[in-house]
Structure 1
Amino acid sequence: MARHSGELARKWREVSNSKKTPPEYDQNNSLLTLPRTILNAFTGQKVEGVNKQLLELVQEASRVLLLIVDSLGLNLVVKGGLSSLIKDSSYSTYLTSTVPSTTATAIASLATGEPPLLHLSLGYKMYLKEVGAIIKPLKFSPVIGGPHESLREAGVSISLNPCKTVFERLSTSGIKCYYVGPQSIGDTTYTRSFTKGATFIESISLEDTLTLALKALKKSNETLVYAYWDKLDKLSHEYGPFSKPVEYLLTGFEKVLTELLRDLRQVKNSVLIVTSDHGQISLRGGKRIFLTEVLGFLENLYMPPYGESRFLYLHVKKEKKFLEIFKTYLEPFAELYRISDILHLFAPEKKRTPENVETFLDHAGTHALIPRENNVLIYPYAKRDLEFDLKGHHGGLSPHEMLIPLIIFVNQ
C-alpha cells in the first residue's frame, strides 16, 4: 500500500511523461471504484468493479464521508500539497478520472458508479437529443446563453441521469445518505438528477461544508455523506494549477482538514475518503485555436462542436472531406479519432452492449477532437468565448488532468 507522498511521486514519475493516461477501468483503479466499493461495504452484496484494498479499509465502517475536492490533481499532491495529511493517512494511492476529465462527467460517475457511456453526462457542453439542442448540463441552459435553469423555466422537465444513484441503492437498505455542496448548485436539474436518494445540504464555504458534513455523518448509525468543494477549481482556472493562490489555498485546506480529522476521531466506525473529480493542466505556452477561423470546419459538421475545449465531440458529415481539413489546419495541434474506435475510454468492454453504444453515439457524435499537449480548441458560441483567458484547464487525457489522489483515514 502506498502510504506516503514519496510513493505517489514515484508513480507520478512513471506516467507523467506519457502524453495520455486512459481511465483504468479494468484494473478497478478509476474513480468508478469508489461508489462501487462503498456500496459493497454497506450492503455486503457482491458488486463488480470493487477495489479490494479500499474495501478492506471501509467494510467495517458504518459512517463514510467522501470529500470531493474539485481539481485536486495528483500533480499538486506530488509537488508537496497535503504532504502531512498523506503521511498521517491510513492509505493513499491514485485513481484515474473519467473521459472527459471534467466535473459534469466525473461527478455523475461518482454518484452512480457507472462510466460515461451509461450515464451520458458527457461534458460541460453536451448534445441533449431529447430537446434537440446543445446545452450546459450543470446550468441546464442553452449553450448560447440564458440564466441558470432557463430550460426548466421554459417547461423542460427531464432527468439528466438514466442510471440509479448509489444513494438510491443504499436508501433501500436503510442507509441514510447526504450530499453537501455549494448553494449555487443546490436546486438544479443536474444536482437533482445525480443526488437522487440523498438529502442535499447547501453550504457556503469549506469550513461550512465540513461542519455540515460532520453533523450529517452523526445523524444515524449507518450514514454515507458526499461533500463537494469547488474553490480549488476556480482558482486553478483563474491563475493556473501551480500558482501561488492555489498553493496558499491548499495550505489552508490542509490545516482545516487536520481539524476535521481531530473531530472525526469522536465519531466511531468512521472513514474519511478524500479524492477529486479531475486535475488541471497549465495552459502556459499552449496554443489557443479558434475553430471558427478554420476554413470549412463548421460547414462539414451537422452541428457545432461541443464537450470541452480539451475534448470535443463532432458530428462529421463526410469523413474524407473533414479529414482533409483536419490535416491541413489542425493536425499539429490536435488528434482526431472516430468515437467508435475509442469506446474503451467511455466504458469497459463488459459494460458495452449494442443498445447502449447506439444511444451513446446519438449523444457523442461520430468523432472526437483532442488537443495535443496543453493546447485548447475553442468554438465561440458567444462573444465572451472569444475572451478565453484561463490559465489552467481540464477535460483532456494528460496525466495532469486524469490522475487524482485517493487518501483514506480510518477511525474505528
Structure 2
Amino acid sequence: MTLPADLAVPAYGAGTLADVLPSAAAALGVPVERDGLPADPLGLTAALAGARKVAVLLVDGLGADLVRAHADLAPTLAALATPAGDLAAPCPSTTPVSLTSLGTGLPPGSHGVLGFVTAVPGEERTLNHVQWADDPDPRTWQPRPSVFERVAAAGVEVTAVAPYAFAGSGLTAAAYRGARYAGTVGAGDLAGRVLEALAAAPRTLVYGYTAELDLTGHVRGVDSPSWRAQLALVDLLVRQVVDGLPADAALLVTADHGMLDVPAATRLDLDAAPELTEGVRLLAGEPRARYVHTVPGAAGELLARWRELLADRAWVVGREEAVASGVFGRVDDALADRIGDVVALARGTWALTATEREPGPSRLVAYHGSLTATELAIPLLTARGRALV
C-alpha cells in the first residue's frame, strides 16, 4: 500500500533532525560514523566555518510552518539564517523518537526508540518513553553510542542543558549520554546556562532543550493566544542566547516536530469503536501514530478491518509493509517487534484517541506524530558570533 501523497518519508541522511548533531560535530572537526550515512549532510562545516563552539537549541513543537505563519511574533527567529532549508522530523514525529534520533544521529529503526509508547517485546506491557526511568535498562533498550559520547571522546567539552526533572531519566540516558547534564529551572536559566557552557572550554558542544511551547500547544492549541504568547517568549530566549554568543561560537535552533489542532469532528475514539478493538492485545503509539499489537492470529483480519473502517482517515499498513516503506529508516531485525502488527498514521487532522485507556492525552487540543508536512517540517536556523560574521 503506497504512502499517500499527503504523507512523506523522512529523507534520513539528507536533511532530517538526525543529521543535525553529526553535521555540527563535523563543523567542530569531529566527523561521526553512523551506519554509512554522510558525516555532514547539512553542510555545516562550511556554514559554520571557524566556529570552535556550537550550541544546538531544540524548541519542542516549533514546526517550520508555525514559525513562518507567525514571523511577526518571532522577529529574531525570522531573521536567522537557514543554511539547509527545512529539515524533517523522524517517524513517528514525536519527542522521544526525535530526541533519540538527534542524540544518536540515527533513524528510529536503528536506535530503537520507535514511538511515544511502544510495546516491550516478550512482556504484556508498554513503555512510555517520557515516563521511563530504568526499566528496561536504557543502555540495553537503546545500545547505540550517542554523538555526544563520540564528540567528548575527541576532547570537546559536551553539555546538555535541560530541565532538572529530566536528569537521570531513561530517555536522557538513551539520547544524551556522554554529555554533562546541566539542569534548568526556566527559560532565563536555560539561556544563562547555555552561554556559561559555551564559555567553559576552548572547544564546546552545547545542547539546550525547552518544552513550554509544545506543552502550551497541546493544552491550548497552536491557534490560541496562549501559544502565540509563548512563541514570543521563545523568541526572546533565542535573542538572549544570540546576543551573548562568544565571538567564535555558533547557534543552531531546531525542533523535534510541528503540530496541529484537532477539532472534535476529526477525533475517532477507539474505546467507543469495538469493531476496531476486537483482537487488540496492546494499543501503543499515540493518537496520530498508532501501533496495534494483536492477539495471535488476528493481525490479518484486524488490518483489513482497520483499513476498511478508517478509509482515508489514516494510512493503515502491517508491520512488514511499514518497515519496507522506509518511514523508520532501515529497521534492525531485533527492533522490529517494537512496531505494532498494525500501524496507523493519521491523515488530515484526524486523531485516533482512546478516552478510557488514555483520558489525559485524549483531552489535548493539538497533536503530532504522523507524516504530514505540518508535523514533519522543522527549522534549522543559525546565528554566528562576531568573529565568524
Q: By the TM > 0.5 criterion, same fold?
A: yes
Q: 1:323 Cα deviation (Å)?
A: 3.8
Q: 1:320 Cα deviation (Å)?
A: 4.0
Matches within 5 A, 1:173-184: 173-184=154-165
The residue aligned with 1:11 is: none
Match of 2:31 among 33, 45, 63: 45
1:334 aligns with 2:320: no
Match of 1:134 among 102, 126, 129: 126
The residue aligned with 1:235 is: 216
Q: 1:291 Cα deviation (Å)?
A: 1.5
1:283 aligns with 2:283: no
Report the 3-state secondary structure (helix = DSSP H, G, I; strand = E; otherwise coil) of the residue aligned with 1:321.
helix
Q: 1:241 Cα deviation (Å)?
A: 1.2
Matches within 5 A, 1:23-34: 23-25=10-12, 28-34=14-20
Letter in 1 for 2:82: Y
Contact conserved, 2:291 with 2:340, CA < 8 A, in 1? yes
**Cα separation, 1, equivalents of 2:151 and 2:86:** 26
**Cα separation, 2, equivalents of 1:318 and 1:103:** 31
Contact conserved, 2:289 with 2:345, CA < 8 A, in 1? yes
1:68 aligns with 2:68: no
**Cα separation, 1, equivalents of 2:309 and 2:88:** 32
The residue aligned with 1:144 is: none
Q: CA 1:340–1:323 in structure 2 vs 1: closer, same or farther (change >3 Å)?
A: closer
Match of 2:76 among 85, 88, 100: 85
Q: CA 1:332–1:94 in structure 2 vs 1: closer, same or farther (change >3 Å)?
A: closer
Contact conserved, 1:177 with 1:198, CA < 8 A, in 2? yes
RMSD across aligned positions (CA): 2.4
Letter in 2 for 1:25: Y
Contact conserved, 1:176 with 1:220, CA < 8 A, in 2? yes
The residue aligned with 1:395 is: 369
Structure 1 window deviating more from structure 2 (90-99 vs 62-71): it is 90-99
Q: 1:172 Cα deviation (Å)?
A: 1.0
**Cα separation, 2, equivalents of 1:383 and 1:251:** 31
Matches within 5 A, 1:151-166: 157-159=137-139, 160-166=141-147
**Cα separation, 2, equivalents of 1:395 and 1:231:** 18
The residue aligned with 1:261 is: 242
Q: 1:258 Cα deviation (Å)?
A: 1.8
Report runs of 4+ in structure 1 exceeding 6 Å deviation.
Answer: none
The residue aligned with 2:289 is: 311
Gap runs ≥5 in structure 2: none
Q: Normalising by structure 2, what TM-score? A: 0.88
Letter in 1 for 2:335: F
Q: 1:128 Cα deviation (Å)?
A: 2.1
Contact conserved, 1:91 with 1:409, CA < 8 A, in 2? no
Letter in 2 for 1:91: T
**Cα separation, 1, equivalents of 2:47 and 2:306:** 49
**Cα separation, 1, equivalents of 2:195 and 2:112:** 32
Match of 2:347 among 349, 368, 372: 372
Report the 3-state secondary structure (helix = DSSP H, G, I; strand = E; otherwise coil) of the residue aligned with 1:271.
strand
**Cα separation, 1, equivalents of 2:249 and 2:259:** 30
Q: 1:327 Cα deviation (Å)?
A: 4.5
**Cα separation, 2, equivalents of 1:218 and 1:190:** 27
1:292 aligns with 2:271: yes
1:188 aligns with 2:179: no
The residue aligned with 1:199 is: 180
The residue aligned with 1:35 is: 21
Q: 1:255 Cα deviation (Å)?
A: 2.6
Gap runs ≥5 in structure 1: 1-16, 141-148
Identity of aligned residues (%): 23
Q: 1:194 Cα deviation (Å)?
A: 1.8
Q: CA 1:369–1:196 in structure 2 vs 1: closer, same or farther (change >3 Å)?
A: same
Q: Normalising by structure 1, what TM-score? A: 0.84
Letter in 2 for 1:42: L
Contact conserved, 1:31 with 1:95, CA < 8 A, in 2? yes
Q: 1:332 Cα deviation (Å)?
A: 4.7
Contact conserved, 1:22 with 1:402, CA < 8 A, in 2? no
Q: 1:206 Cα deviation (Å)?
A: 1.0
Q: 1:324 Cα deviation (Å)?
A: 4.2
Letter in 1 for 2:339: A
Count of equivalent residues:
373
**Cα separation, 2, equivalents of 1:346 and 1:336:** 13
1:325 aligns with 2:288: no
Q: CA 1:286–1:115 in structure 2 vs 1: closer, same or farther (change >3 Å)?
A: farther
